[in-house]
Amino acid sequence: MYAMTQAFKDRLKTAREKAGFASAADAADALGIKIPTYTHHENGTRKPKTDAIERYARFFGVAATWLMFGKNETPAEVEPASNPIRKRQVAKLLSPFTVPVYGSISGGDEDYLEATSEALDHIAAPNSLMDVEGAFALYMPGTAMEPRYHEGETLFVNPKKLPRPGEYAAIMHSDQTPTGSPIWQVGRYERVDAGNRVFSRYNGQELRIPTDKIRAIHKIVATGEW
């Protein structure tokens, strides 16, 4: 932890002005955060967390140790943003990366999600998916994969990767619904067998899905609680 002193808020204001922001409101807008949040930090009325200070340092182009403690006063290792467009581009890079969450639980104790094209939400995602076009997440339906995945847990999906045997997958198919509407299910990919793709599960029946019913198979690359 660091000591919150008068000097910190002065250094923050100096860094902001040298980066070309005429006001605290301009800086907050470019950073993509609420104006009161930033102004409290620059006024010294609230203590920013260490990760917020590091973000300010990267954005304003100064050394984090200088901004926190006044050390290493030769400031900037990062070139400050020089115009409003550039400032917003930098702010976007520093903002949390998010992906859409798809699928809606149909109710009851079903172990599948109805496949919908409308996102339920957008949530923070691993940076490893930042450059993956179409990356998304699902909420784990049911308890068929416990203890590996728990009901409601977030499953992050890379649509550019196919699972290999032994890896975990999100499968969209239209095999088990009366109307043939597509659904998402989760399983561990095992093999191809007599025209079916086979997926094992810890607490549910093995999935044997006809290949011609499968619309997508994507690798699950990370998880998280949200």
pLDDT on residue 26: 87
Domain boundary among 41, 65, 94: 94
- Residue 192 is part of a domain; what is its CATH number? 2.10.109.10
> Per-residue pLDDT tens for 99-143?
999 876 555 567 888 888 888 888 888 878 877 889 999 999 889
Quick one: pLDDT band at residue 97, thresholds 50, 70, 90?
confident
Would you say residue 189 lies in a domain?
yes
pLDDT at 94 over 80: no
Rounded CA-CA distance 205/180 in Å is 20
Q: Do residue 71 and residue 150 come from a single domain?
A: no
pLDDT on residue 72: 59
Q: Which residue has the tokens 């901004």?
A: 67
At 115, list the tokens.
């496949």
* Mean pLDDT (whole number) for 176-181: 66
> Per-residue pLDDT tens for 34-76?
898 999 999 988 888 888 888 888 888 888 888 888 875 544 4
DSSP letters, 64-106, are HHHHHHS-S-S--SSPPP-SHHHHHHHHHHHSPPEEEE--EE-
117 within 8 A of 134, measured Cβ to Cβ: no
Q: Do residue 131 and residue 174 come from a single domain?
A: yes
Q: Do residue 137 and residue 41 come from a single domain?
A: no
What's the domain range around 86?
6-94
- The model's pTM is 0.58
> Per-residue pLDDT tens for 127-139?
788 778 899 999 9
Would you say residue 1 lies in a domain?
no
Rounded CA-CA distance 186/209 in Å is 12
3-state SS assignment for residue 192: strand
